[in-house]
A = this chain, B = another copy of it.
Amino acid sequence: MAEVAALVGDPARANILCALLDGRALTATELAYAAGVSAQTTSGHLSKLRGARLIDVCKQGRHRYYRLTGAHVGQMLESIMAVALTGPPRLQPRSKADDLIRHARTCYDHFAGELGVGIADRLIACDCVVLGNEAGEVTEAGAAFLTELGVDLSAARARRRVFCRPCVDWTERRPHIGGAVGAALANRCFELGWVERVRDSRALNITPTGRRGFMEAFELSV
C-alpha cells in the first residue's frame, strides 16, 4: 500500500497521472512535457508506474501510448485530491490557465468545473437527475430529455460501470455528474461541436455553437 502511495507521491509522477486523468492515452514525450522532466527520467517513472499496474501501455508504430489501467486508479487519484484540498489552504498563483481549467474541463471522461456543476445543477433543478451522497439516478423525464439531446443512454446503461455517480468537483466543491451518464453526455457535446479540448490541458474551450447550445438546453450562460 505504501508502495502505491509512494508512486503517486513523487511530483513528476503525480503530474503524469493527473495528465492521464481525463482518460486519454498520451505518448511518453507528451507525458515528459506534462511532468516537467526529461524524457529519460519520464521513461523511468513510466516503467515504475507500469510495474505497479497503475498504467497500461500500447505500442503503435514508434509511439507508445500510456493510459490509466482503469477507473479505480482515477478514483484513487480523485480521493487523494479531495483530501489534499481539505488540508491547509496553499497560496497558489492564479494563472490564466488556472482560470480556464476552473471554467470548464474534463474529469476522467465527463465534464467538471463551472460547466460541469452548472449542468448538474440544471438537471437536478428540473428533476432530470436525483443525486444522492454516493450514487445518483436519472428520472424518466431526465431520460427523455437526454435522449432528445442525442445522448445514447441505452449504450451507457449497457456498460458495466456505475451508471450515474456524483463526483465532487475540486474547484467548485459541489458535485457534478460522473459515471456512464456523465461520460455519454460529454461525448455527445463533443459530437455536437459544443466543446473542444485545449491542447496539453484538461481544460475545454466552449465554441460559439456550444454557447448557444448550453443556453438552450440547460439555460446556462457560459
Chain A interface residues toward B at CB < 8 A: 1-11, 13-15, 18, 51-54, 69-70, 72-73, 75-77, 79-84, 86-88, 132-135, 162, 165
Within the assembled complex, what's the spacing in Å between the Cα atoms of A54 and B81?
Answer: 13
Interface of A is mostly: helix
Residue pairs across A and B with Cβ atoms less than 8 A apart, 22 shown, are A1-B18, A1-B81, A2-B8, A2-B9, A2-B13, A3-B9, A3-B87, A4-B83, A5-B6, A5-B7, A5-B9, A6-B10, A52-B87, A53-B86, A70-B86, A72-B82, A76-B79, A76-B83, A79-B79, A79-B80, A134-B135, A134-B162
Q: Determine the chain B residues whose CB is within 8 A of the CB of A51 once the complex forms.
A: 88
Say how far A192's CB is from chain B's closest CB, in angstroms. 29
User: A53 contacts which of B11, B87, B135 (Cβ < 8 Å)?
Assistant: B87
Q: Determine the chain B residues whose CB is within 8 A of the CB of A18 once the complex forms.
A: 1
Contact B2 A11 (CB under 8 A): yes
Q: Determine the chain B residues whose CB is within 8 A of the CB of A82 once the complex forms.
A: 72, 76
Sample of 7 more A-B contacts, CB < 8 Å, known A54-B83, A70-B86: A2-B14, A4-B87, A6-B9, A51-B88, A53-B87, A69-B86, A76-B76
A12, closest chain B residue (CB): B2
Within the assembled complex, what's the spacing in Å between the Cα atoms of A88 and B53?
Answer: 7
Within the assembled complex, what's the spacing in Å between the Cα atoms of A91 and B79?
Answer: 28
Q: Determine the chain B residues whose CB is within 8 A of the CB of A83 once the complex forms.
A: 4, 54, 72-73, 76
Say how far A207's CB is from chain B's closest CB, in angstroms. 31
User: A1 contacts which of B4, B52, B69, B84 (Cβ < 8 Å)?
Assistant: B84
A15, closest chain B residue (CB): B2
Contact B10 A8 (CB under 8 A): no
Q: Determine the chain B residues whose CB is within 8 A of the CB of A15 once the complex forms.
A: 2
Q: Determine the chain B residues whose CB is within 8 A of the CB of A134 once the complex forms.
A: 134-135, 162, 165
Within the assembled complex, what's the spacing in Å between the Cα atoms of A15 and B162?
Answer: 32
